[in-house]
């Protein structure tokens, strides 16, 4: 495998991908803003290192799948600009992966935050 680009240039490409996703994908913006809110809440609830690790991994999975979904949609739109059954399957299943991860992230959030919220309220 040849090395076509330097490591800093590869990071620049990746940063550009994040920028594109943030600017053009409303769902990625929603997940990003939610991430900030959740991390601030975790700070105020004094999460342990383990709780932070679980939270960050969960958030990372959702954001990563959202980026993969965005890439999948772009590829499908490129190779199949007209609506075809198989193109729809690819896009719908990719979106379903994000939905499943986001739903599971909410459940993880409930498991992590609910005991702390109850403790504050009692």
Rounded to an integer, what distance in angstroms lies between the CA atom of residue 53 and that of residue 51? 5
Residue 26 belongs to some domain of the structure: yes
Rounded to an integer, what distance in angstroms lies between the CA atom of residue 41 and that of residue 55? 11
Q: Which of 23, 25, 51, 66 is catalytic?
A: 66
Per-residue H/E/C for 62-122: HHHHHHHHHHHHHHHHHHCCCCCHHHHHHHHHHHHHHHHHHHHHHHHHHHHHHHHHHHHHC
Residue 106 belongs to some domain of the structure: yes
Q: What mean pLDDT is predicted for residues 27-45?
A: 97
Residue 73 belongs to some domain of the structure: yes
Q: What mean pLDDT is predicted for residues 74-98?
A: 93
Q: Give me the domain span that covers residue 72.
A: 7-121
| The pLDDT value given to residue 2 | 57
Structural domains counted in the chain:
1
Residue 11 belongs to some domain of the structure: yes
**Mean pLDDT of the chain, nearest integer:** 95
| The pLDDT value given to residue 82 | 86
Q: What mean pLDDT is predicted for residues 74-96?
A: 93
CATH number for 15: 1.10.287.3610
Answer yes or no: is pLDDT of 86 > 90.
yes
Residue 71 belongs to some domain of the structure: yes
Residue 83 belongs to some domain of the structure: yes
Token pair listed for 14: 């990746």
3-class secondary structure, 47: coil
Residue 47 belongs to some domain of the structure: yes
> Higher pLDDT residue, 50 or 7?
50
Known catalytic residue: 66? Answer: yes
Nearest one of 42, 45, 71 to 56, comparing CA atoms: 42
Residue 2 belongs to some domain of the structure: no
């Amino acid at each position: 495998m040849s090395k076509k680009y330097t490591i800093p240039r590869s990071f620049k490409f990746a940063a550009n991908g994040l920028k594109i996703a943030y600017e053009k994908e409303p769902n990625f913006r929603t997940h990003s803003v939610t991430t900030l809110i959740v991390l601030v809440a975790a700070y105020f609830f004094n999460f342990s290192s383990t709780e932070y690790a679980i939270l960050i991994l969960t958030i990372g999975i959702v954001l990563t799948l959202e980026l993969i979904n965005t890439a999948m949609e772009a590829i499908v739109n490129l190779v199949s600009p007209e609506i075809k059954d198989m193109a729809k399957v690819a896009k719908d299943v990719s979106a379903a992966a994000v939905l499943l991860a986001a739903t599971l992230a909410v459940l993880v959030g409930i498991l992590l935050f609910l005991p702390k919220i109850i403790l504050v309220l009692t």
